[in-house]
Amino acid sequence: MRNYTIKDSSNIIETLAALNELSDAGLTLFVTDIDNKVIGVITDGDIRRTLIAGGKLTDSVTTAIKKPFSYFRASDKDNVLKYKEYKVKLLHIIPVLDDNGHLVDIVDMKGQQSILPIDAVLMAGGKGERLRPLTEKTPKPLLLVGDKAIIDHNVDRLISYGINHISVTVNYLKEQLEEHFEQPRGGVKVNCYREPKFLGTIGSIKLVDTFYNDTVLVINSDLFTNIDYEDFYLHFKEHDAEMSVATVPYTIKVPYGIFDLEGRNIQGFIEKPTYNYYANAGIYLIKKEALTAIPDDTFFNATDLIEKIVSQGKKVIRFPLNGTWIDIGNPQEYQKAKDLVKHIK
């Protein structure tokens, strides 16, 4: 981050030299005072306008800085809404400041889609039996879709939404997944947790020792999707639910006329009806405290958690997923994902 800061004691020509060393992030520097607090932002455009107005190259950088300036506060929980606001303003990079005004991070608005305050857990322990022989020696999450593994599509998408606390629970051929994530991906360390036995579609989340945020995203690692996690999160917060389930529309068309019956008696006739349902997409947002309902070291599915939360009189909502969603569970769906990846970002 030092490359993106300059002291307020610098002059404009020194600032131009520092900007010239940058090759990305919108040619922006953050100006700091003697206490290393960020007091303003400066771009090459700010300097150009200052010089046109009669400024000199030897003038202090403070004559050209932008005040007040846009920033994220590291302790804020409303950074998602700020992000949407800054995106509309077409800002390039935004500083993240601690409560004392010190720079702790930088958000690249071009390379990132949001800044979500959530943890993510990917379930990657399944055997992928319906994809054999492909999964006899390779765990399904590591099968390639395009130029990278299925699970990497999901991890990269999470990182693009500013999620930097990511865990993966592993079981079948676990050593390969652990080796795969030995090195950070996109600057984020992905932590693997071994299942001692198969614990269902959500039971292994209890193996994760630390959650840093109040909201936890759980996703099956073998999905291929472009779900908008920002919309998902904001919808979850808006409705103040204990749990939100991403759902995909599922339509059944009956090709015949059917009877509306009451016992043996015909009450009416419905000509070739269509029924619309919503299917579980295998992606969930859950309040951290709701995870206490999951028993330790016990086979437990996400649907069990839904039923348990509902039985407690708490709110579980659905989020309609619009866009791409493929559950890579058989050779046909796997081929569909490989064909589709060529045409989407």
**DSSP per residue, 152-219:** HHHHHHHHHTT---EEEEE-TTHHHHHHHTSS-BTTBPEEEEE-SS--TTTGGGGG-----SSEEEEE
pLDDT band at 107 (very low <50, low <70, confident <90, very high): confident
The average confidence (pLDDT) of the chain is 88
Q: pLDDT digits over 57-88, tens only?
A: 898 888 888 778 888 888 877 788 888 888 88
Is residue 25's pLDDT more than 60?
no
Q: What is the pLDDT of residue 26?
A: 62
Q: Could you give all domains of the chain from N- to C-terminal order, each with its CATH number?
A: 2-78+94-108 (3.10.580.10), 118-240+282-313+320-340 (3.90.550.10)
How many alpha carbons fall within 13 Å on the CB side of residue 242? 17
- Percent of the chain clearing pLDDT 70 (strictly above): 98
- Output the six-digit token pair for 336: 């569909």
Q: What is the pLDDT of residue 126?
A: 84
Residue in the structure block whose two tokens are 């879709």: 145
pLDDT band at 247 (very low <50, low <70, confident <90, very high): very high
Long-range contacts formed by 328-334: CB under 8 A, 24+ apart: 328/131, 328/140, 328/143, 328/145, 328/150, 328/222, 328/223, 328/224, 329/130, 329/131, 329/222, 330/130, 330/131, 331/130, 331/131, 331/134, 334/131, 334/134, 334/143, 334/145
